[in-house]
Amino acid sequence: MTHEEYTLQQISVFLDNRPGTLSEVARYLADRGINLRALSLAETRDFGTVRLIVADTKTCSDALSNSGYHHIITDVIAVAVEDRPGGMADVLELLAEELIDVEYVYATVMTVDSHAIIILRVNDTLKAGMILASKGIRLMKEKEIASL
């Protein structure tokens, strides 16, 4: 298994913390046909960070650049977890046992084969992916996420 087989590219967009900025970027992307597959918003007093998983990372990044939105691309992993109480906890415990640091996690609205999909940013995507795959945990590929 290679790093590219199970990592996704996440786009983090930095926005001023003022009314309407999230709706502006959402409308801007929608008007360009960019489909959001997952979204997370973290905010501070002065700015917010919108984390996006999209069907076409390059198209989205180009569109954001063309409009002056400051953004970065980060590798994350998408994991299918059993959609039941404790499903996510089971995955997180496997990572904790191997001393993998989870920097943040968020969920998508998508499911596959009655499994919820969570997005994980970890300190070592290669090790995390190998550990989870060896334990039979399904890692979602970028093409799979885009097609859901």
Q: Are 117 and 141 a contacting pair, CB within 8 Å?
A: no
| pLDDT at res. 65 | 97
Give pLDDT tens digits for 61-91: 999 999 999 999 999 999 999 989 999 999 9
| pLDDT at res. 139 | 93
Domain count, the chain: 2
Distance (Å, rounded) from C-alpha 47 to C-alpha 136? 39
Question: Does residue 4 belong to any structural domain of this protein?
Answer: no
Question: Does residue 2 belong to any structural domain of this protein?
Answer: no
Give pLDDT tens digits for 21-54: 999 999 999 999 999 999 999 988 889 999 999 9
Chosen domain end from 50, 73, 96? 73
Give pLDDT tens digits for 109-131: 778 888 889 999 999 998 999 99
